[in-house]
Amino acid sequence: MPLCATCDSVDIFNLLLICLSQCRDKQEALRVSDGETYDNRLKNYEGSEVKHHGDIFEIEKSSKVCDLCKIIFQAFKRTNVQDVEVARGLQMMFRTSYSKIEVCYNTDAKEGLIKLCGLDVYMDEANVEELFRVGQIKEDNSPPILKIMEKDPASDRSLDIASRWLKNCVESHSSCRPPTEFQKPPRRLIHVGNKTQNLFLVETFPNLQHVEWLSLSYCWGGEPSMKLTNGTMNALKNGIPLESFDKTIKDAVFVTRGLGISYIWIDALCTPQGDNRWIEEASKMNEIYGGSTVTLVIASSDSIKNGFLKKRELKYIPVAYSTDKVEDHRAKLFLSSEWDDSEREYNGAWSKRGWTMQEGLLPNRLLHYTDSQIIWKCCEEQRFERGITERVADIVSETLTYSDVSDIAFGSSLDYPLMSHSDTFRLWYDLVEDYTPRRFENISDRLAAISGLAKVYGGMIRNPTYAAGLWKEDLIRGLLWHVEGTTLIPKHPASNTSTFPNFPSWSWASVGYEVVKNDLKTSNSLRALSEIENTHIDLDDQRYPYGAVRSGSVTITGPLRRLPRLYNKKWASAEASMSKLEHYISEIVEKESQGSVAHKYSSPPGGHFSVLVMVGDIHLLHLLVLEATGGIVKGVNEYRRGGILKLLYVDPSSYTSPEVIAKLEKMEASSTALLGLHEKTNKTRMTSNAVFMEVNEGNWAKETVIIV
């Protein structure tokens, strides 16, 4: 649709020039570290406001014939205004604000202009670069002009953008180069050839150097049409036409060729399927992905059948402008809705698959294909096809990203002694928290699919002992994980079916697809009150200590108290004969069971439960709750891990202290204790203190137990 007369009369190009000036001044102010200078310079642009339609109702009427009005009215509907009449008569305005064009209401009141929505401005890449040059500004993470994207991600222009990103990184970023020890190629690679050649499998040799390969990270989403097996090995070596492969493989080969890379590593075609030989390759993921020239991430597709080079739905509204009023030279710029930050995330199947986590964290260069654009990530920067560049050092993220482990993956080591600092294992617990909700077709792969990261991490912290997803040197703290939302009652334990026979109960791998947290990951003030005597891990293959396990046990000694049950239904009765601790645990079990307490908590099949004090200080205790299996090994009772208890003692005189209240609220929010908050009664607080004192002063005898 053409623009309405009102939209066509807005001098978008003049607003854009003002945005360029604001962006230049902002960059100059940042360069001299003088934010106040930029704020003062903004005053030079006061009055850069243009009247639009009389109110939103005029825009609604015009939206039937004008694309720009349609965008603005859709933004208004998303605000969910309860009484639309409040907008009647409010003049609509265009303005520039911090290098962006915004659509606003003019309230003619103290509030002044109120933003309704933002508009992004796009131009052809050559025009963007020319205006940036004339305006003396650099591309950054908030440019006033974005680069119009191709509808076809398989176009020459789109591939040229990706190629330039790769070339720039290879030539300019020394920190992104794979370490020498990772530059040996994998045992098998696929040679992609050219348009007239078939794909064929190449078996490399350990001493072969200077081979560049692209590694592929994608979702199978079903069985591939072609896999490497004993039956297909010779055919793949002899060469198979590209048309014989699934769409995602064909698209990946197309991109690999476009980047000028001769080899691609694809798990289904380079790792033997259907036998245990894949275990060897799984143990080398850090080398395969970390040593590749670039990793191609298929972020937008959930199946190998679908492909990813699909035409995009681009909604650009063309706006004519004149750069030379004398000759009336008419060119084009484009407007669209302000970019949604969610477009920079990867919320599809790829980001939820277990195997892809280390595939996204181990490489030093990644090229993502999403539904909307291609995105480059390396150790130094992140680039978006739409024309935004961000330095990795400036990116603030609440979730774990590959940049958090890039230094680990490429040879860095911690500069403080092992075990002397609480941060030694902090990043590992962050990795586990991010990893545990990810899905598998076969969850028994859970430890194997993180083995590459474990191997790298172990090397970083000077080769400690890996133990089924935890580390022996930090096992006292490591055992005190809990599932988000519960501390005692597991939601969906993986070990309760024959599908998950190999995970020890003390490993976070033993629970279902729940977020696993460790509240002690940043703590270094608590004293260990128990001691790890021994760990025993029965590996699936002894050659791969970071891989899958068959079983495992931990022998530990510490202050222990046996309990006949975890739950007594009479816990709320004043006449019930039970300790404060038993009362407290029963209350938690009932709450976390949500009204349906399992029979075993009242009458365990092995005869009893036990509570083991793990760490503590004068204000805080962390306990491990264990369930007896009934087994005895050389006179030592055998248990399964149940959950944890966290007991806090608060001086009654400090109940109103903001610091104490904040600490209590944090504990309540993380579901690690049922302690009284400021709005609850002093009686509840005194009860929690009484439980702490009972345990702290109990002088429990130390006992050795085995946890399986």
DSSP for 118-179, please give it.
EEEEEE-HHHHHHHHHHHT----SS-SSEEPPPS-TTSHHHHHHHHHHHHHHHHH-GGGSPP
* CA-closest candidate to residue 76, choices 108, 115, 121, 109: 115
> Is the separation of the CB atoms in 696 and 627 below 8 Å?
no
Percent of the chain at pLDDT > 70 equals 83
Take residue 510 and report the two structure tokens written for it: 């033993």
Find tokens 């597709």 and name the residue: 301
Q: Which of 485-489, 575-579, 600-604, 699-703 is modeled with the greatest confidence?
A: 699-703
Q: Three-state DSSP class for 42?
A: helix
Amino acid 505: pLDDT: 95
d(Cα 624, Cα 613) in Å, to the nearest integer? 6
Span of 2-6, 18-22, 208-212, 566-570 with lowest mean pLDDT:
208-212
pLDDT band at 663 (very low <50, low <70, confident <90, very high): low
Residue 400 pLDDT > 60, yes or no? no
> Is the separation of the CB atoms in 564 and 534 below 8 Å?
no
Find tokens 């993380």 and name the residue: 670
How much is the average pLDDT of 352-374? 93
Q: What is the DSSP string of 578-594?
A: --HHHHHHHHHHHHHHT
Q: CA 19 → CA 334, 486, 679, distances in Å?
A: 15, 51, 50
pLDDT band at 162 (very low <50, low <70, confident <90, very high): very high
DSSP 8-state assignment for residue 443: G
Q: CA 333 → CA 118, 189, 485, distances in Å?
A: 16, 45, 51
List the Cα angle 575/576/580 in 5-degree steps. Answer: 115
Span of 138-152, 462-476, 614-628, 646-660 with lowest mean pLDDT:
646-660
Q: CA 157 → CA 121, 196, 287, distances in Å?
A: 20, 22, 32
> Is the separation of the CB atoms in 437 and 514 below 8 Å?
yes
Amino acid 183: pLDDT: 76
Q: Summarize pLDDT for 318-355 with one digit per residue, the tens.
A: 987 655 544 444 557 899 998 877 666 667 889 999 99
Helix residue ranges, H only, 461-578:
475-478
Take residue 6 and report the two structure tokens written for it: 């009102």
DSSP 8-state assignment for residue 540: S
Amino acid 656: pLDDT: 54
Amino acid 91: pLDDT: 94
Amino acid 237: pLDDT: 95
Strand partners, 654: none
**Residues in CB range of 317: below 8 A, 6 or more apart:** 3, 67, 68, 71, 334, 335, 336
Residue 675 pLDDT > 60, yes or no? no
CA 188 to chain centre: 30
Q: Summarize pLDDT for 563-590 with one digit per residue, the tens.
A: 999 999 888 887 778 899 999 999 999 9
Take residue 441 and report the two structure tokens written for it: 């077709």
Amino acid 41: pLDDT: 46
> Is the separation of the CB atoms in 430 and 521 below 8 Å?
yes
Q: CA 277 → CA 219, 230, 281, 334, 359, distances in Å?
A: 21, 11, 7, 54, 19
Average pLDDT score, the chain: 84
* CA-closest candidate to residue 424, choices 486, 479, 473, 370: 473
If you compute the radius of gyration of the chain from its CA atoms, what whole number of angstroms results? 31
How much is the average pLDDT of 502-509? 92
pLDDT band at 414 (very low <50, low <70, confident <90, very high): very low
Residue 597 pLDDT > 60, yes or no? yes
Residue 685 pLDDT > 70, yes or no? no
d(Cα 170, Cα 658) in Å, to the nearest integer? 52
Amino acid 653: pLDDT: 65
pLDDT band at 45 (very low <50, low <70, confident <90, very high): low
Q: Higher pLDDT residue, 459 or 493?
A: 459
* CA-closest candidate to residue 519, choices 549, 543, 487: 487
Quick one: three-class SS letters along 625-650? EEEEEEEEECCEEEEEEEEEEEEECC
Span of 180-194, 312-326, 404-418, 504-518 with lowest mean pLDDT:
404-418
Span of 30-44, 428-442, 552-566 with lowest mean pLDDT:
30-44
CA 425 to chain centre: 18
E strand or H helix at 457: helix 451-460
Q: What are phi and psi of 214, to 5 degrees?
A: -100, 135
DSSP 8-state assignment for residue 338: P
> Is the separation of the CB atoms in 581 and 598 below 8 Å?
no
Q: Which of 385-394, 416-425, 528-537, 658-667 is modeled with the greatest confidence?
A: 528-537
* CA-closest candidate to residue 544, choices 475, 447, 472, 479: 447
DSSP 8-state assignment for residue 487: S
Q: Higher pLDDT residue, 46 or 371?
A: 371
Take residue 231 and report the two structure tokens written for it: 């039956």
Q: Summarize pLDDT for 422-450 with one digit per residue, the tens.
A: 578 888 999 999 999 999 988 889 999 99
